[in-house]
Structure 1
Amino acid sequence: MVKRMAVVVHGGAGAPSTDADGCVRAAHAAIAAMRRGDALDGAVAAVVAMEDDGRFNAGAGSVLGLDGVTVEMDAAIMDTRGRLGAVTCLRRTRNPVLVARAVANTPHWLLAGEGAERFAREAGFAEHAVGNSRAQAAHRRLIAKLRAKLPALPGIDTQFFERQVRDHQAKPEGGDTVGAVTRDAEGHFAVAGSTGGIAPALLGRVGDTPIIGSGFYAGPHGAVAATGVGEQIVRHLLAHTVYGWIAEGMPLHRALTRAIDFFPEEVDVGLIAVSRTEAGSKSNRDMPTDHLEHD
């Protein structure tokens, strides 16, 4: 039975709602891609549009690591046709979600670091410098704020970072993953996500975005994507937990609200989801989104 196509996209929990126009363009890109292909084509097209936007913390707009130079990105895809792929700590690549999609064609589901970057080059994705002037300016502001907290420490090193996080003196920035969930005309579901991580972050840090069941999940009852502070999201296997409630028959918006209530107010978190009959989003912060349905 032919179903209405649906897509929900988000630009990250804590990202300014003024960036919603980027989500609108991404949602339209998803619908156009699904008309030509399937749910996964739509989810990937939406995330590529946001990676290329430059305002979101993904792809071209990714935040800088603690060293102020390195950008490490995560991305993942999954659908109900059995395709699953992810990358983590990927460097020098414009569209990590396309690399994650390519990983799904290999015998593996997740590639990391140097291996992920080598795979990207071998798969035909050119080396590309990421971390635009907006990200560089944000990093300078963050470091200035951190230095003001502990001015006696020489430089910004690992010890400095650990003290800031341990003492809750610096709230991580970034975390505003981009993501998309889709349902195509045949009733298949897909999810895709991409992020530049959080700042400040030690090199090699991995959040929830590339972790199946935490940042993303898709199954025969729907698809779910999470955004926010990954270190908190993974503790709840959030995407799979929400998916399980939807599969059990809980109304989608009730499931999203129940999941957000897991977290204390100071933790940024957001969710998007699509099921056989519903679609929606929920966050405890501003979160640019868009939701489209088409025959």
Structure 2
Amino acid sequence: MSEQLQATVVVHGGAGGSRDQDDGCRFAARTGRDRLAGGASALEGAVAACVALEDDGRYNAGSGAVLCLDGHTIEMDAAVMDSQGALGAVACIQRVKNPVLVAQAITRTPHWLLAGEGAERFARTAGFPIHHQISERQRAKHERLMATLGSREPATPGVANRAFADYWNYDTPRVFNPCDTVGAVTRAADGTFAVACSTGGSAPSLLGRVGDTPIIGSGFYAGPDGAVAVTGIGEHIVRRLLAYTVYGWIAGGMPVDEAIRRGVDLFPREIDVGVIAVSRTETGMHSNREMPCAVVSAGDA
């Protein structure tokens, strides 16, 4: 029988976000904690927290997901995993409100990852309605991105702006958004762990781009010793299998705060990276950028 532990939820709103958005993270963490207190599983608590972040509109996920370069398309990724074997993810899904709920639904199928048109068709089969709304905030961010791409300032570290024009793969004529994610990790009172992540992708990016968020061991991992969620520039994160690397250190006995700081320190300063994690006795949050985040445990106000 699992030992009784203190139910805890840790969330982040994306590396490079503003700490002015901590209030949304606190609300999401409390939402997940309340679900755990009501008898929900670690996975249900993590998903509830992630849905709250997707619905907020200020984070690059769900309702706040960035526009692709064509100024109309929105492609999103999401993933869930727990320490009891549940695993589901979606990549490049369009026209859904809460990608993390679709990822959760995939845990009940024969597969772990669905992408693109197949993922959207599955969402309709699973009962998720068509949703495609573009806010003024999203349009304003897209206009700023277009201005950056037309300047000498690199829109993505280490990538020439002209590369996005050279390899343009949208249906619209070639013309000339920040890279972050939301995530939640939970520890239930029964000693089980879970993680849920969602992102609106990276901007700028070519159509069909997939980052670290739906890739097991890169953007997320959960096992019997804890759960880890990662945010930042996926093209760099996947090369380090960052979530699993940090999890391995925690499982080997390294303190959580040391493990996540060591993970972030694997990357040069110009690469946005953030990590949150929970173990049987500890929680941790660290980023080399400003990162909205929160932790709420049972008994907290």
Q: TM tier, shorter chain?
A: over 0.9
Corresponding residue of 1:62: 65
In 2: Cα distance, 1:140 partner to 1:273 partner: 35
Corresponding residue of 2:77: 74
Contact 2:37 2:298 in 1 (8 A): no
Give 1:33's aligned amino acid. R
Pair 1:161-2:164 in alignment? yes
Pair 1:279-2:283 in alignment? yes
Select the residue among 99, 105, 108 that pairs with 1:105: 108
In 2: Cα distance, 1:214 partner to 1:131 partner: 29
| 1:226 CA drift (Å) | 0.2
In 2: Cα distance, 1:140 partner to 1:239 partner: 33
| 1:33 CA drift (Å) | 1.1
Contact 2:60 2:66 in 1 (8 A): yes
| 1:280 CA drift (Å) | 1.1
Give 1:145's aligned amino acid. T
| 1:56 CA drift (Å) | 0.3
> How many matched pairs?
280
Pair 1:259-2:263 in alignment? yes
Give matches, 1:78-93, under 5 Å. Answer: 78-93=81-96
Contact 1:66 1:200 in 2 (8 A): yes
| 1:35 CA drift (Å) | 1.9
Give 2:223's aligned amino acid. G
Select the residue among 218, 222, 226 that pairs with 2:226: 222
Contact 1:197 1:206 in 2 (8 A): yes
In 1: Cα distance, 2:274 partner to 2:99 partner: 21
Pair 1:8-2:26 in alignment? no
State the Cα deviation string for residues 121-166 of structure 1 (Å, max 9, x = none).
110000001432211111011102212349xxxxxxx9551669xx
Corresponding residue of 1:117: 120
Pair 1:294-2:298 in alignment? yes
In 1: Cα distance, 2:260 partner to 2:33 partner: 23
In 2: Cα distance, 1:20 partner to 1:162 partner: 36
In 2: Cα distance, 1:98 partner to 1:288 partner: 22
State the Cα deviation string for residues 255-275 of structure 1 (Å, max 9, x = none).
011111100000000000000
Q: Percent identity?
A: 61
**Secondary structure in 1 aligned to 2:268?**
coil
**Secondary structure in 2 aligned to 1:77?**
strand
Select the residue among 250, 253, 256 that pairs with 2:254: 250
Corresponding residue of 1:201: 205
Give 2:94's aligned amino acid. R
In 1: Cα distance, 2:291 partner to 2:86 partner: 28
In 2: Cα distance, 1:87 partner to 1:279 partner: 27
State the Cα deviation string for residues 9-49 of structure 1 (Å, max 9, x = none).
00000011101100000000001111231110110000000
| 1:240 CA drift (Å) | 0.2
Relative to the length of structure 1, the TM-score reads: 0.92
The change in CA–CA distance for 1:5 and 1:221 in structure 2 (over 3 A counts) is same
Moved >2 Å (runs of 4+): none
In 1: Cα distance, 2:32 partner to 2:287 partner: 22
Long gaps (5+) in structure 2: 154-160, 168-176
